[in-house]
A and B are shown apart, each in its own frame.
Chain A
Amino acid sequence: MIESNQDPAAAMSERITFPGASRTLPTGEREFMMDVRTADLEINMGPQHPATHGVMRILIRTDGELITGAQPHLGYLHRCAEKIGENVEWLQYLPYTDRYDYLAAMNNNLGYSMAVEALLGEEIPRRAQMLRTICAELNRIGSHLIAFGTYGLDLGAFTPFLYAFREREWMMALFEKICGARLTYSYLRIGGVFNDTPPGWLQEVEHFCDVFEEKHKEYVDLLMMNHIFVKRTADIGVIPVEMALDFGLTGPMIRGSGIDFDLRRDTPYMLYGELIDAGAFDVVLGSGAKGTLGDCWDRFYVRVMEMIESIKIIRWCLGSIEPGPVIAALPKVLKVPAGEAYVGIENPRGELGHFVVSDGGKVARRVRVRGPSFCNLAVLEAIMPGTLLADAVAIVGSTDVVIGETDR
């Protein structure tokens, strides 16, 4: 079932170092003698396993602690999101987008809304764009905080997880104030955002930015630069540049391999073009500082440092936000002109693409989602063999998959 990268006979002869350990049988086959008869162990990591970040199953074949093959199995959380998209009205589908990547619901809303807006050709008010950028980046911070915390958890460090949740809690409280929900926001709507900010909200976001920058130093000291942590992640799960391109990785996964690819800059959407012109943020790249380029530590580094870049973006938006309308005047029951559009945005996990087809009616003809986790997950099979069981957890954690989005 599992295709091992290594030829079993070659692997076996590598292990045998003493002479006379093998003989040729009359049939021509070679028989290997070993001190103890060993067998590969097939083991299911998941669907109920603490380190698979949801209901994912990885079928692992191990020789002792050494992994010789790994195969992710998906589909435990499939909820027919795309099919639902073909059966409900344009705006009614918005809450379903919250549910694919439930850690970055704002970004999902944004991706879908932008795809529909591309068909509508509607002008989005500037304040709405500002609020969208602020919310998307805040949610990116929240999502990376989870990635940061659970990665520590995977490697046995419990405390950073709760530190990360402390700040995430505040972020969620901010979202609760602006839209009433803590996880599935549906705040970014087709045409703008749902409503204007409550009084004092923008000041509170600024306060959050101030505090977060302080706390971020703690994260770096406590986990990212921790000697044991570096030992556990450097040189583990290396994704070379070629492999990253072959597997179509996006987001921190590809930037961890040193490839300068960020949709916010490369296909500037919303205000990101202005932000790039203003030099408000940089794209963080892995550099192999602690080991090989493209190892788990590099990917982790990219996520941790991106949080600071998001803070910079939020600060720029807070500095230039002005009063105005927050949603374009659209009819209650939306009819989208016939046509098709693909819009890819930079989700915390990579490129979230929405391909929508309209036949001019109230309901979409087709809503296709390109999920970043789904594409990033495929690389596991290639990088896991040859590592230890403990590294498997480190590698799965470093891909930062959200199962809700791989399965949709």
Chain B
Amino acid sequence: MEHGNLIHELLGGVAPEGVPAWAIVLVTAVIGVSLLIGVVSVIAMFSVWLERKVSGHIQCRYGPMYVGGWHGWAQSIADGVKLLMKEDMIPLGADRVLFVLAPALVLGSIFGAMAAMPLAPGFYFADINLGVFFILGMSALTTIGVIMSGWASNSKWSLYGAMREAAQVVAYEIPLGISLLAPLMVAGTFNLLEASEAQSGWFGMKWFVFQNPFLIPAAILFFVAALAETKRAPFDLPEAESELVAGFMTEYSGIRWSFFFMEEYAAMFLMSLVGAVFFFGGFESPFTSLAEWAFVTEAGADGSALRTAGLFELPLLYHVTAGTVLAAKALFGVFLMMWVRWTVPRVRIDQVMTMGYKYLTPLALVVVLFAGTWEWLLS
């Protein structure tokens, strides 16, 4: 099924006469990137607020209640303004270039990863055939930024945090990638849009996680590895506020610090999105098949299946609904990560390593083996 890229469609349509094609592409790209940054930043800020509310309610508190009126919804905005206003401080002994570059690299790579992630059926910026690989690769790039920040800070605590991050991410990239192989075998594609569309069906029965019994352990493995990958508790060793003061962020303040913060929430959202697309039906709602309601399949003149707009007269409505469904699933994943964080203590670095190398990686391999065998027997 072909979806047009909404941005291209919308902007291509309004291009005035005589404007060269490269200008349209450039303007489209600038608008697209701004939209992407806007959407991801807003989601990250919302997640920060959500975290504070979730942690508050888990801990018998309310969390932010005043800023903005309703349950402190504007708290993140107020915090963001405060962080922008703060003095831009770089320690004297720090490596200035790396120190400034590190937060930008961290945030930039997570935005880069987001570019390949379709947020709604037509709302993507790069339709890459190997989308999953691109996303995993780009999100792993944040590690470089973290190591840079730890080294450039010229602080021992920061260095500890950076080294922990390096060790941890290397250990957990493997089970993360391998556990994703199982749904990839069911999907038969690396493309996120195609994988999502393959799960179109009633009451979520076509979701990959229900297609193969070994995808349930794969989903759990993916969740655990994603927790470690995004530096979330119980694997938040790179920051480990009670051990390493603030880990690699110890020397950062103001807006640079908030870049790391936003990266964490954007990464959580990204990992939840990948999980939602490859395990839990992507754009498909748990009740009905949105795509079936949206489009009527007819036989085309040459006998191929053609889809025309069905119940949703406006394609935009379908896009918005599907995007909302995906975002809701991803935010539920984010909520699960928060729930875990505010419930369990932190594990120790050797336990993290043991778990990654000795248990998760072999388990992921076994799961992939069984899932593949199941697929092979069924086909």
A interface, CB within 8 angstroms of B: 41, 43, 49-51, 65, 152-159, 162-163, 166, 222-223, 226, 228-229, 231-232, 388-393
B242 to chain A minimum Cβ distance, whole angstroms, is: 4
**Interface residue stretch chosen among B269-277, B282-290, B340-348:** B340-348
User: Is B348's CB under 8 angstroms from A390's CB?
Assistant: yes
- Our pick among A41, A153, A163, A166 for the contact of B242 (Cβ within 8 Å) is A153
Q: Mark B239-270, 1 if CB is under 8 A from A, else 0.
A: 01111110000000000000000000000000
User: Is A166's CB under 8 angstroms from B349's CB?
Assistant: no
A63–B96 alpha-carbon span in the complex (Å): 28
Q: Which residue of B lies closest to A227 (CB)?
A: B344
Q: B160 at interface (Cβ–Cβ under 8 A)?
A: yes
User: Is B344's CB under 8 angstroms from A388's CB?
Assistant: no
- Our pick among B60, B157, B342, B350 for the contact of A388 (Cβ within 8 Å) is B350
User: Is B60's CB under 8 angstroms from A166's CB?
Assistant: yes
Which residues 325-378 of B sit at the A interface, judged by CB distance below 8 A?
342-351
* Neighbouring B residues of A223 by C-beta, 8 Å: 345
A126–B375 alpha-carbon span in the complex (Å): 80
Q: B323 at interface (Cβ–Cβ under 8 A)?
A: no
User: Is A51's CB under 8 angstroms from B59's CB?
Assistant: no
- With A50-B242, A154-B242 known to touch, is A226 a contact of B347 (CB < 8 Å)? no
A159–B338 alpha-carbon span in the complex (Å): 12
A392–B348 alpha-carbon span in the complex (Å): 11
Q: Which residue of B lies closest to A150 (CB)?
A: B242
- Our pick among A229, A389, A391 for the contact of B345 (Cβ within 8 Å) is A229
User: Is B345's CB under 8 angstroms from A232's CB?
Assistant: yes
Q: A-B pairs with the 7 shortest C-beta distances?
A: A156-B346, A157-B345, A162-B59, A155-B345, A51-B242, A390-B348, A156-B345
B47 to chain A minimum Cβ distance, whole angstroms, is: 17
* Neighbouring B residues of A166 by C-beta, 8 Å: 60
Q: Which residue of A lies closest to B55 (CB)?
A: A158
- Our pick among A153, A156, A159, A391 for the contact of B234 (Cβ within 8 Å) is A156
User: Is A231's CB under 8 angstroms from B347's CB?
Assistant: yes
User: Is B243's CB under 8 angstroms from A158's CB?
Assistant: no
Q: B233 at interface (Cβ–Cβ under 8 A)?
A: yes
- With A153-B242, A159-B58, A162-B60 known to touch, is A390 a contact of B345 (CB < 8 Å)? no
Q: B236 at interface (Cβ–Cβ under 8 A)?
A: yes
Q: B156 at interface (Cβ–Cβ under 8 A)?
A: yes
User: Is B245's CB under 8 angstroms from A158's CB?
Assistant: no
User: Is B59's CB under 8 angstroms from A390's CB?
Assistant: no
- With A159-B58, A159-B59, A162-B61 known to touch, is A391 a contact of B348 (CB < 8 Å)? yes
* Neighbouring A residues of B236 by C-beta, 8 Å: 156
Inter-chain pairs besides A159-B55, A159-B58, A232-B351, 4 sampled, C-beta below 8 Å = A49-B245, A159-B342, A232-B347, A391-B348
A104 to chain B minimum Cβ distance, whole angstroms, is: 23
A222–B348 alpha-carbon span in the complex (Å): 19
- With A228-B234, A389-B160 known to touch, is A50 a contact of B346 (CB < 8 Å)? no
- Our pick among A43, A50, A65, A228 for the contact of B347 (Cβ within 8 Å) is A228
A223–B344 alpha-carbon span in the complex (Å): 8
A207–B157 alpha-carbon span in the complex (Å): 46
A329 to chain B minimum Cβ distance, whole angstroms, is: 46
* Neighbouring A residues of B234 by C-beta, 8 Å: 156, 228
Q: Mark B50-64, 1 if CB is under 8 A from A, else 0.
A: 000001001111000
* Neighbouring A residues of B349 by C-beta, 8 Å: 65, 388-390
* Neighbouring A residues of B244 by C-beta, 8 Å: 389
User: Is A388's CB under 8 angstroms from B348's CB?
Assistant: yes
A-B contact pairs, 24 of them (CB 8 A): A41-B156, A49-B245, A50-B242, A51-B242, A51-B243, A65-B349, A65-B350, A155-B346, A156-B346, A157-B343, A157-B345, A157-B346, A159-B343, A162-B61, A228-B234, A229-B345, A231-B348, A232-B345, A232-B346, A388-B349, A389-B244, A390-B243, A392-B243, A393-B242
